[in-house]
Structure formats: structure tokens, C-alpha cells
């Protein structure tokens, strides 16, 4: 393909699987590849956004970092869908729990993704687009979690453009609308998937709960989210 390699991805044609797991942290991608995959090859080191392809339970699967925020995941997921013929991207990330029924280490499945981003303006739509997960991936994730006896909470998440928000009441306002957790990427991933006619799902492990002051360490965030990883790998 004439579009690859790209300025952000050094992979050649055929080096990336049809299903890609996408953590924000490239070191989490490295951990997943080294822990769960066999016959692993590294297809990308550009900007240290590590990407690997290997085998899990006899199926080829790739894992690649997506970075922090909508602009970053927007670039990487767009290229995977449109230049590398990827069919499924499963975001596996951390999030801050804001709903009363969400706690540290819970796995949240993002059925939809609210956002304060203007990412959808590029589509020039005559209204407001509602970014949602692909039902097949969502349904299979729920059934896998039930089989593995992993507790999940399913619903709306917030993809925020701001980590430090000048509006100190913002999260409380989203909480009143039933939003479960806040992260920074799912909405763009869901929009890119919709526009490309591909599939996407966001799985999140709650790393902190700002309203009650609970939080995990950086090391726990990088290597400790094994339940979420196992659900995602089962979807490959």
C-alpha cells in the first residue's frame, strides 16, 4: 500500500493482525506481548509507540500503544483501520470511576462514549453523533466476563479532552447523567471505527475514584490490569 509505512507506524503490509489491542501506554503493550503472546515480533518503535504481533490460543493478534488523548488515538486507530486493514480495535485502558457503583479495579465496558471534544466536527454532520461500541464485540466481552467470573459494569463513559479541568464541577455534572467513568480516548476510537465501517470496543480498569480518594500506583496501572487483558484477548 502506498500509505504505509506512515510517519507514525513503521509496520509493513501484513505485519499487523486483523484485531489490535490498544492500551494507551506503550509499555503496557510490551507487557501484554511478553506475558500473553507467543512467536512475537515488534512491528513498530516509531516515537516509542511500541507495537507487537504474536499468537494467542492459536490466533494472530496485535497489541499497540495508542497514546494519551483523542488526537493521539485518533491518528493511530485511523491508520490501523484505513491503511493496515485492521478490522477490530479493542482499547484497554485505565479510567477514573465517578459513578457510585464503580470502584478501583472494576472493569468497565464502554457501551457509549460521551465527550467534550470537537472531534466529530470533521464529519460535518447535521446534528450530534453518539459514539457507541460495536455490539458484537461488546456482547462477546460481556459473555466472556461472565464465563471468567469477572465483575464488569457496563454503560456510558466520558472521553475528556482535559485531564486538569478548570471547571471543578464537570465530573459531578457528568455523574448526574449516569456516566460511569472518565478516560480520554474511546469517543475518537468509536468515531473512527464508525466512519471506516470497522469495529471497536473500550474496556477500562478503574485506576482511581476521585470522589472518594482511591488510586492505584503507576506500576499497578502498567502491569496489574490482567482481568481486562484476558477479556480483550478472548475477542481476537
- Look up residue 63 and give its three cell numbers: 497489541
User: CA torsion, points 93, 156, 107, 91, in degrees to nearest 10?
Assistant: -30
- Look up residue 117 and give its three cell numbers: 471534544
Q: Residue range 166-194: average pLDDT?
A: 98
Contact, 103 vs 206, CB < 8 A?
Answer: yes
| Res. 222: pLDDT tops 70 | no
Helix (H) or strand (E) holding 229: helix 226-234
Q: Is 166 a catalytic residue?
A: no
Q: Residue 228: CB partners within 8 Å, gap ≥ 6?
A: 92, 107, 203, 204, 205
How do residues 183-220 score in pLDDT, each as one tens digit?
999 999 999 999 999 999 999 999 999 999 888 887 77
Rounded to whole angstroms, the Cα distance separating 161 from 118 reads: 9
How do residues 57-100 score in pLDDT, each as one tens digit?
999 999 999 999 999 999 999 999 999 999 999 999 999 999 99
Signed CA dihedral, 169, 172, 173, 179: sign only: positive
How do residues 125-160 score in pLDDT, each as one tens digit?
999 999 999 999 999 999 999 999 999 999 999 999
Opening angle at CA 93, ends 90 and 94, nearest 5: 155
Question: What pTM was estimated for this model as a whole?
Answer: 0.96
CA distances from 176 to 29, 164, 169 (A): 34, 20, 11
Helix (H) or strand (E) holding 219: helix 218-223
> What pLDDT does 224 receive?
61
- Look up residue 98 and give its three cell numbers: 465517578
| Res. 221: pLDDT tops 70 | no
Classified as helix, coil or strand, 185 is coil
CA distances from 161 to 28, 68, 171, 181, 184 (A): 22, 10, 13, 14, 6
39, 85, 100, 208: which one is catalytic? 208
Question: What is the CB neighbour count within 10 angstroms for residue 208?
Answer: 18
Rounded to whole angstroms, the Cα distance separating 88 from 81 reads: 8
Amino acid at each position: 500500500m502506498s500509505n504505509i509505512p506512515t510517519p507514525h507506524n513503521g509496520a509493513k503490509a501484513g505485519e499487523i493482525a486483523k484485531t489490535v489491542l490498544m492500551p494507551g501506554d506503550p509499555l503496557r503493550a510490551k507487557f501484554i506481548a511478553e506475558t500473553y503472546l507467543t512467536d512475537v515480533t515488534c512491528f513498530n518503535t516509531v516515537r516509542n509507540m511500541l507495537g507487537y504481533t504474536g499468537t494467542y490460543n492459536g490466533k494472530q493478534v496485535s497489541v499497540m500503544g495508542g497514546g494519551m488523548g483523542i488526537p493521539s488515538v485518533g491518528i493511530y486507530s485511523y491508520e490501523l483501520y484505513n491503511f493496515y486493514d485492521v478490522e477490530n480495535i479493542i482499547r484497554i485502558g485505565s479510567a477514573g470511576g465517578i459513578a457510585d457503583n464503580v470502584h478501583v479495579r472494576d472493569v468497565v465496558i464502554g457501551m457509549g462514549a460521551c465527550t467534550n471534544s470537537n472531534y466529530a466536527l470533521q464529519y460535518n454532520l447535521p446534528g450530534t453523533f453518539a459514539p457507541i461500541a460495536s455490539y458484537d464485540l461488546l456482547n462477546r466481552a460481556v459473555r466472556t466476563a461472565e464465563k471468567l467470573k469477572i465483575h464488569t459494569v457496563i454503560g456510558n463513559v466520558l472521553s475528556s479532552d482535559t485531564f486538569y479541568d478548570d471547571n471543578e464541577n464537570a465530573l459531578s455534572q457528568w455523574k448526574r447523567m449516569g456516566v460511569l467513568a472518565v478516560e480520554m480516548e474511546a469517543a475518537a476510537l468509536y468515531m473512527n471505527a464508525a466512519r471506516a465501517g470497522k469495529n471497536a470496543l473500550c474496556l477500562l480498569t478503574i485506576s482511581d475514584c476521585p470522589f472518594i480518594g482511591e488510586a492505584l500506583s503507576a506500576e499497578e496501572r502498567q502491569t496489574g490490569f490482567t482481568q481486562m487483558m484476558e477479556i480483550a484477548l478472548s475477542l481476537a
